[in-house]
Amino acid sequence: MQKTTILKDGDFEKNWYLVDASGKTLGRLATRIATVLRGKHKPGYSPHMDIGDFIVVVNASKIHVTGNKREDKQYWSHSGYPGGLKLISFKDKMEKDPTFAVKNAVKGMLPRNKLGRRLLKKLKVYGGTEHPHKAQQPEILEF
């Protein structure tokens, strides 16, 4: 009978990947990024462990959304008080913070617990082409 092997923290290597978001559809890109962050692409995947890789996303300001979402999609927050609803459109949010849409989409696809918060820290998103992670020598990841 063969035993199931459980990986420990030092048994796997965490790689760095570079993703160019220009022209990519937001939701499709976010699902693939979430998969790599969780480590589901590795044979030793375990849902309770952080075995995923680091992702650096560049050109987040050039992300593509389908249909009329650029004008119609809205992000909302509520203070908890009556009349405390704040709405901001996708277009306005992207002008203010070009990294928000990618971060928010990936965050929604990760677990809502300590593990999910730790995984989100391994996602580095930049609006332009420059990033400070050249020393890690990230491999280009094509989707």
Instruction: Parse the chain into domains and list their residue ranges.
Output: 15-66+97-140
Per-residue pLDDT, 54: 98
Query: For residues 53 and 39, what is the distance between their CA atoms, to the nearest angstrom?
Result: 7
How is residue 70 written in tokens?
Answer: 């650029």
Domain 15-66+97-140 class, CATH top level: alpha beta
Question: Taking the model in full, what pTM does it have?
Answer: 0.92
∠ CA 112-78-64 to the nearest 5 degrees? Answer: 65
The pLDDT of residue 33: 98
What pLDDT was estimated at residue 38? 96
Q: How much is the pLDDT for 5?
A: 76
| CA distance linking residue 108 with residue 79, whole number of Å | 20
CA-closest candidate to residue 14, choices 142, 120, 136:
136
pLDDT digits (tens), the chain, 143 positions? 888 777 787 788 999 999 999 999 999 999 999 999 999 999 888 899 999 999 999 999 999 999 999 999 999 999 999 999 999 999 999 999 999 999 999 999 999 999 999 999 999 999 999 999 999 999 999 98
Q: What is the pLDDT of residue 50?
A: 92
Phi and psi at residue 74, to the nearest 5°: -130, 140
Q: Which long-range contacts (CB under 8 A, 24 or more apart) does 8-11 make?
A: 11/44
